[in-house]
Structure 1
Amino acid sequence: MRDTWQLPAFTETVLGNRRHDHVLVIPVINEGQRIRNQLARIAALGPPADVVIADGGSTDGSLDPGFLQQQGVRALLVKTGPGRLSAQLRMAYAWCLDQGYAGIVTVDGNGKDGVEAIPAFVAKLLEGFDYVQGSRYLPGGVAENTPLDRHIAGRFIHAPVLSLAARQRFTDTTNGFRAYSARALLDPRVAPFRDVFERYELLFYLTVRIPQLSYAATEIPVARRYPGAEPTPTKIAGWRGRLAMLGELMGTAFGRFHPR
């Protein structure tokens, strides 16, 4: 099956040995001091997961291997082939599955997320859940300085559309803080390792497809804090980017990305 996986070209730098059964994947590109601060917070937390960086081709020097090794990062994967976020995730998830991890937690690398929730994601995977979605909107969650357009789109378009398609209610499907079991990702009916996933499609698709197949899915509260006095960290630029994302959302809801 792995012979049929479609992955972008990438390089790998292994910085340490495997120590845990679960892994934290952090997709990042040119996040500068934000990713450095985030990695320091994760190292101080000491979560029950190894850390793998999925770099989209950073040029800002923030991911120096020496610094990463000091923060306990296990591996740096650098995408050299085409594609954006979904390609980075395909690269990293495939690498982690090949390493034998039982589950994968994903958190954005721009410093907005409360990394203290990482152990809670691992705990839910150990309970037997196959998809764990982080939500700032659950009791105990934190939504700080969320831009109004993102709040409206996430709460009243994105989450309802994907919940209807998944046949399970989710409240924060734009949130990249989430976790998957290896068994769900390896299911040929899911088949995430296809080059149709290039931009944000993979995140949307897994939200729908895994619950559709009767895998156990749940949400847990998380914190997401946008900076109050700085530009919003984002890779989604302008209305063109938002419209493209809307097209990916609707395509997911209508089964465009299901395996044939």
Structure 2
Amino acid sequence: MSEGSDLTAQQGWQVPAHDTHVFREKRAEHALVIPVINEGEKIRAQLRAFAAAGLPVDLVMADGGSSDGSLDGGILAECDARALLVKTGPGKLGAQLRMAYAWCLQEGYAGIVTMDGNGKDDVTHVRRFLAALEAGADYVQGSRYAPGGAAINTPRDRSFGNRMIHAPILSLAARRRLTDTTNGFRAYSRRYLLDPRVAPFRDLFQRYELLFYLTVRAGQLGYRIAEVPVSRRYPDQGKIPTKIAGWRGKADILAQTLKAALGRYAP
């Protein structure tokens, strides 16, 4: 039994039902969590890039229930993944992250880096998050708008919404200026996620709420926050890779943002 393996039962965490597949032993101090669902060749290319980068992290895949076979065919062995968690219970991104974060904390990781599985991020930038965690940061936000970052082919409405609406709202609530708060490329320390004043393992976090809440809560509780530059590349043409569809999706994001800023998710 690994360090902290009874945390879920001890602390009453709410974690969605899931299947756990562990392929090898723990080797690193930090984990890289990639939430994914039906990302096809994008995630396969991303995993090969991860393998080529030789990053000092244990890879944990958080599958929301993919049906496209994108994680089949030996790709996880090829990239030396440590574990695959497959959500079988309800919920979307927030549920996937709760599932993976709980497992990583149970396994004793000192910190967790998260990046999307749609191929928009540069996997080599994981090292920047690890350096920030090792320097004492508790919440590390990746930003394409920070000096040294790159926003490549970002749709204008996304850039406007993020920089003019989302980031200012959450920065004000967090009492710390951040520039790219919709970006899922980020990291958290173990002590931050285990703080009972944070309590991230609750069923109310089903979609994007958890991302926005953890941004706000870190500043409110006085945790050390860092922002590191990253690149984020959208395709030159064709369909934009996103799970946020239409005006209804954008309205939902705004509602979740305002709830996080107003403290509606605080325990």
**TM more than 0.5:** yes
Runs of 5+ consecutive residues of structure 2 not aligned to the other structure:
1-6
Alpha-carbon separation, structure 1, partners of 2:23 and 2:77: 6
TM-score normalised by L of structure 2? 0.96
Question: Does 1:207 find its partner at 2:215?
Answer: yes
The 5 A counterparts of 1:3-152 are 3=9, 4-64=12-72, 66-152=74-160
Alpha-carbon separation, structure 1, partners of 2:244 and 2:64: 15
> Corresponding residue for 2:232?
224
With 65-74 and 215-224 compared, the bigger mean Cα shift is at 65-74
Question: Does 1:197 find its partner at 2:197?
Answer: no
* 2:257 pairs with one of 249, 253, 258: 249
> 1:65–1:76: 8 Å Cα contact kept in structure 2?
no
> Corresponding residue for 1:2?
8
Task: Give the aligned CA root-mean-square deviation in angstroms.
Answer: 0.8
With 237-246 and 198-207 compared, the bigger mean Cα shift is at 237-246
**Amino acid of the residue matched to residue 236 of structure 1?**
I
Query: In 2 relative to 1, CA 164–130 (structure 1 residues): closer, same or farther, beyond 3 Å?
Result: same
Alpha-carbon separation, structure 1, partners of 2:108 and 2:44: 27
CA deviation profile, 1:195-233 (whole Å, cap 9, x unmatched): 010010000000000121011001000000000112110
TM-score normalised by L of structure 1? 0.98
**Amino acid of the residue matched to residue 255 of structure 2?**
G
> Corresponding residue for 1:166?
174
SS of residue matched to 2:74: helix
CA deviation profile, 1:110-146 (whole Å, cap 9, x unmatched): 0000111101101110111000000000111010000
Runs of 5+ consecutive residues of structure 1 not aligned to the other structure:
none
SS of residue matched to 1:86: helix
- Percent of pairs identical after alignment? 64
TM-superposed deviation, 1:17: 1.4
CA deviation profile, 1:82-114 (whole Å, cap 9, x unmatched): 000000000000000000000000000000001
Alpha-carbon separation, structure 2, partners of 1:236 and 1:120: 27
Question: Does 1:176 find its partner at 2:171?
Answer: no
Alpha-carbon separation, structure 2, partners of 1:86 and 1:152: 24
CA deviation profile, 1:27-69 (whole Å, cap 9, x unmatched): 0000000000000001100111110000000000011172201
Alpha-carbon separation, structure 2, partners of 1:214 and 1:125: 16
CA deviation profile, 1:223-245 (whole Å, cap 9, x unmatched): 00000112110111111111111
> 1:22–1:102: 8 Å Cα contact kept in structure 2?
yes
